[in-house]
A and B are shown apart, each in its own frame.
Chain A
Amino acid sequence: MAIAELTSSQPIASAVIPPAAMQVVYKRPEALSEAYTHYCPGCTHGIIHRLIAEVIDELGIRERTIAVAPVGCAVLAYEYFTVDAVEAAHGRAPAMATGIKRALPDRIVFTYQGDGDLASIGTNEIIHACARGELLTVIFVNNSLYGMTGGQMAPTTLPGQVTTSSPYGRDIRQQGWPLHITEMLAMMPGVAYAVRRSTHSPAEIRKAKKAIELAFRAQIEGLGLGIVELLSSCPTNWGLNPLEALAFIRDKMVPVYPPGDFKVHQALTARS
């Protein structure tokens, strides 16, 4: 459709339907704010935010939820939800969330962390939050590099992947192997739910939403810590367009980080 057609004086179809006859089939979740996000075109952070907001609405927990934002691309996540929120130092979100949850045990607390934040500088904090079985929900967004600082190598960077700090490609002999931290955390008794999902297709996104819901239920039902790792796109730092970036997740990231259930508490099994 040409732009001229869109701007013509012809009334568009919906305008002639009486409002009373319209049925709302899709709207902004109440837990999602009206702020425009700062995320790059094609980045899947926005989708993940929406999934979390939908789950918060559906569980009816918006007014008692407290979010902990990370350092990284999602540093401003607190602008995009209508829940109370705090902004943690790099990697410390699980410690800060622990402080909130211990002070206010009847609130729902979630952290939103990237792979540099959770899998590098914050490994100590996430491991010990899991070891204590803190009743927290952790949304772990893995895009294989440090996005906000301009695309440096992260512990999650794929073997051979070129980043600004691995310009010759990640050489596992020099720079080590990708860190599969969600599988590691799943081994811990304090973790009730540990899964990986992707965001590269509508089907994967639907599965991701279900996982986010269960990670919140693990907290609400007092089962233990729930973590969902989400493979996410970074078109800007990967040097790809949005569609190519989704294909990169599917073709390059999924083989290294296969989606799967690493730990599902039996109380959640029937619903997963």
Chain B
Amino acid sequence: MAKTLWKGNEALAEAALRAGVRVFFGYPITPQTELLEYMARRMPELGRVFLQAESELAAINMLYGAACTGTPAMTSSSSPGISLMQEGLSYIAASEVPAVIVDIMRGGPGLGNIQPSQGDYFQVVKSAGHGDYHAIVLAPATVQEAVDLMYISFDLAFKYRHIVILLGDGTLGQMMEPVVMPPFKEVNGGETPAWATTGAAGRPHRVITSLYLSAERLEALNLRLQEKLAQIKANEVRYATYLVDDADYLLVAFGTVGRIAQSAVRQARAMGIKAGLFRPITLWPFPERELEALSARVQGVLVVEMNAGQMLEDVQRVVKDRVPVHFLGRMGGVIPLPDDILPALHTLVGLVRSRNGHRARPVTA
């Protein structure tokens, strides 16, 4: 199939169309606005619904309403907008309706800036709203991977009646890359799911609610949600590795930092350090067993993120004190380049050698 050149945000929008989205609600915010603008042009062309909401709060609640009808629905935003959407996300999770959200992260906290960041890891991966649940979080590293993950997002959302969040950063949203676009398809075979509130025509009336006044009934809902999350954990873990088979040192990074780390791995190997890369694609469920197994075979782990060490906590939780875990984080929209990563890797190598009784020294080729 022919490759065409796409900007990340527009590629995500086109991939969502091809994946079968029927209604889109959104609100402008940099650096994801091209996604909304693309939908504004294309959805009417396809006879589908585009609506610019008055706020992110309204957008997520419009999405919630449309999702209750069993219609494939999505929204997109960036960090401060996702903060506003937390209310709706929690109701959607409790109501068990399918929803797809794109978060093209920018620098924070506060208004921050419009530069790329991974500062929403805690917000999106750990608590996409109040209460006990995790969303399914997909973190693409390239525009092609963003397209491929968007293409399965609605299927995942409908399969589990759950939230899928595509988590990218401003780099992914803004950069252009060649992409193979998948063909058009329909979600759920174009069928309205049996749980949807579409009008009680010839059947008993249905209710979709997140309200359970009895403690026992609310606990039962939570147990059901936990059971569902356990299934997702068992079935949906995704990750990528690069040169890990003989690696002494493991870099762990997600999203666009993952592809920069891949360059750093190549450069490190040219300098004689056997480095490899582990890149989680699902941030929730986090690829725990796979990382645990790999970390048992290396001497040290270097986590690189565009934040102050958020995924780092998950890596530490999995690796424990088996081997040293070192961290490099850049914030505020500063992108860590191989020139930043290699010195951090040297530091890790020194740490490992001093721990093993060797004199700490930088490694040279």
Contacts and interface: CB of A to CB of B under 8 A. Distances in A.
A84 B62 contact: no
B198 interface: yes
Contact of B62 (A65, A96, A124, A127): A96
A33 B69 CA distance: 22
Contacts of A69: 209
A113 interface: no
Nearest to A100: B65
B198 A66 contact: yes
Interface in A71-110: 75-76, 78-79, 81-89, 92, 95-100, 102-104, 107
Contact of A85 (B58, B66, B205, B210): B205
A39 B23 CA distance: 37
B210 to A, nearest CB: 7
A131 B53 CA distance: 11
Given A66-B199, A89-B88, A99-B66, A104 B71 contact: yes
B198 A84 contact: yes
A68 interface: yes
Contacts of B69: 66, 99-100, 103-104
Contacts of A76: 211
A76 B22 CA distance: 30
B328 interface: no
Contacts of A210: none
A233 B73 CA distance: 39
Contacts of B211: 75-76, 87
B61 A86 contact: no
B360 interface: no
B197 to A, nearest CB: 4
B207 interface: yes
Interface string B59-96: 10111111111010100000000000001100100010
Q: Which of B63, B88, B197, B202: most chain A CB closer than 10 A? A: B197
Given A63-B199, A66-B197, A102-B62, A125 B54 contact: yes
B269 to A, nearest CB: 51
A143 to B, nearest CB: 21
A65 to B, nearest CB: 6
Contacts of A66: 69, 197-199
A7 B94 CA distance: 49
Contact of A87 (B22, B51, B54, B207): B207
Given A95-B53, A103-B73, A85 B207 contact: yes
A188 to B, nearest CB: 13
Contacts of B61: 88-89, 92, 95-96, 99, 125
Q: Which of B51, B206, B209: most chain A CB closer than 10 A? A: B209
Contacts of A92: 57-58, 61, 64, 87-88
A216 to B, nearest CB: 14
A65 B197 CA distance: 10
Interface residues on A, range: 35 or more
Contacts of B68: 86, 96, 99-100
Interface in B101-153: none
B25 to A, nearest CB: 7
B201 interface: yes
B55 interface: yes
A99 B60 CA distance: 9
B85 to A, nearest CB: 11
Contacts of B208: 85-87
B194 interface: no
Interface in B201-257: 201-202, 204-211
A92 B69 CA distance: 17
A180 interface: no
A95 B63 CA distance: 9
A69 B205 CA distance: 14
Interface in B12-55: 22-23, 25, 49, 51, 53-55
A69 B54 CA distance: 21
A89 B87 contact: yes
B24 to A, nearest CB: 10
A128 interface: yes
B200 interface: yes
A64 interface: yes
Contacts of A82: 200, 204-205
Contact of A78 (B95, B198, B209): B209
A196 interface: no
Contacts of A84: 197-200, 205-207
B66 A124 contact: no
B197 A98 contact: no
B53 to A, nearest CB: 7
A62 interface: yes
A86 B94 CA distance: 12
A68 B65 contact: yes
B192 to A, nearest CB: 10
Nearest to A93: B61
A225 to B, nearest CB: 14
11 contacts: A33-B205, A85-B209, A86-B64, A86-B65, A88-B64, A92-B88, A100-B65, A100-B66, A102-B66, A103-B71, A104-B71
Interface of A: 33, 62-66, 68-69, 75-76, 78-79, 81-89, 92, 95-100, 102-104, 107, 124-125, 127-128, 131
Give the 3 A-B CB pairs with smallest separation, nearest first: A99-B65, A96-B65, A99-B62
